[in-house]
Amino acid sequence: MLEQLRRPPWLQKAIRTGLSVAPGLIWWATTDDKRGVAFAFPALCLSVTYGDAGLRPRHLAAMAVLAALLLPGATWLEAHPLPCVPIVMAAMAVNVLVRRRTKVPTRVSNWLLIYLLYEASEISRNGIGAALVPALLVLPAAVWTYIVCFLLWPNRGEAAPKGAKAEAAIMSVPRHALCAGLAAGIAATAAFLLHSTHVNWAIWSAITVVQSGTHDSLVKSGRRILGAAIGCSVGYTMLVTLHALPWLLGAITAVLVVLMVAPETYVLAVAIRSTLAILASLQLGGDAAATGLARIENIAIGVAVALVLVLAFAPAGWRRSAQPAALS
């Protein structure tokens, strides 16, 4: 039975996520204490990195320490657009440099930034002091994640098959870093000027779409928009049709948390996270309808900005089909 559970990659990821978030979500569900959510979220972000074959405990420890140290600053920046924009630009450019020029596993820098952006977005309205408890909870969350990922469920799933192909990089590393930084900064500026909530979705949509290959960027932008449209539509439908069954909405939310990083298909992954954004907002006492609108708005901003810059930064002749390169 255990061997069967280890085979499908999506299922082993879901099990790992479920184990990682269980203590925090049980804490919150039984006490209504949002510190449980503040424990569960870093555990989730840290556990996602375990899919990288090169991940070591030292990477987990480094992520936790950096997340704890940087969260107060990220929370302050969320409420101060003027310094926020250039710092976001620099951070996203550095992220590209780390991913393409170092041996640090890709998900390490990505999910560190996701944690900082998303957590800061949720707590910034309460001031920088609101970051103290979540920052302190990152460290025990990292210890629990280590127990889950290296002891309780040390399964990475199957490796990518030999001969897997990917689009050859079109943008050089410096060009890619500059494009990503500008895209994140402009997307953040647009979201701030529109007084949008959840600016993090605009920033991350931009950085996600800016790939080193132009074709990859175009495909990912379409899939991200499609996934968000499907997910938000499903979320709104659930709000309308299941409003009299709060227990069912709560159960669906819990299932989506476990599945949010499991899908192998990008459209499905974005759809699940978009539905979850609406339902989680409802469970946490927020304006679920407004959250859905903010997600669609900010994803559209990020994707639009990124596409314009990708097309501007791609070298002449980008329309020619890129020769596929084998993954290392």
pTM of the complete model beyond 0.75: yes
Mean pLDDT across the stretch 168-184? Answer: 88
Residue 266 lies in a domain: yes
Residue 321 lies in a domain: no
Assess whether 191 and 259 both reside in one domain.
yes
Assess whether 140 and 259 both reside in one domain.
no
DSSP letters for 136-196: HHHHHHHHHHHIIIIII-----PPPPTT-EEPPP-S-HHHHHHHHHHHHHHHHHHHHHTT-
pLDDT for 213 equals 77
Assess whether 144 and 175 both reside in one domain.
no
Assess whether 198 and 223 both reside in one domain.
yes
Assess whether 4 and 26 both reside in one domain.
yes
Contact 197, 185 (CB under 8 A): no
Q: Which of 43-57, 112-126, 180-194 shows the lowest per-residue confidence on average (mean pLDDT)?
A: 43-57
Structure token pair of residue 168: 């050859």
Q: How many structural domains compose the chain?
A: 2
Residue 309 lies in a domain: yes
Residue 188 lies in a domain: yes
Residue 161 lies in a domain: no
Mean pLDDT across the stretch 73-91? Answer: 96
Taking all residues of the chain, what is their mean pLDDT, rounded to a whole number?
89
Q: Which domain, by its residues, includes 275?
A: 168-314
pLDDT for 319 equals 47
Residue 328 lies in a domain: no
Assess whether 82 and 231 both reside in one domain.
no
Whole-Å CA distances, 117 to 34, 52, 100, 110, 139: 18, 21, 21, 11, 18
Assess whether 150 and 2 both reside in one domain.
yes
For residue 325, the surrounding DSSP H or E stretch is strand 325-326
**Local confidence band at 325 (pLDDT 50, 70, 90 cut-offs):** very low
DSSP letters for 103-149: -S-HHHHHHHHHHHHHHHHHHGGG-GGGGHHHHHHHHHHHHHHHIII
**Local confidence band at 160 (pLDDT 50, 70, 90 cut-offs):** very low
Assess whether 124 and 197 both reside in one domain.
no
Assess whether 256 and 129 both reside in one domain.
no
Q: Looking at per-residue confidence, does 164 or 311 come out higher?
A: 311
Mean pLDDT across the stretch 303-323? Answer: 74
Assess whether 131 and 1 both reside in one domain.
yes
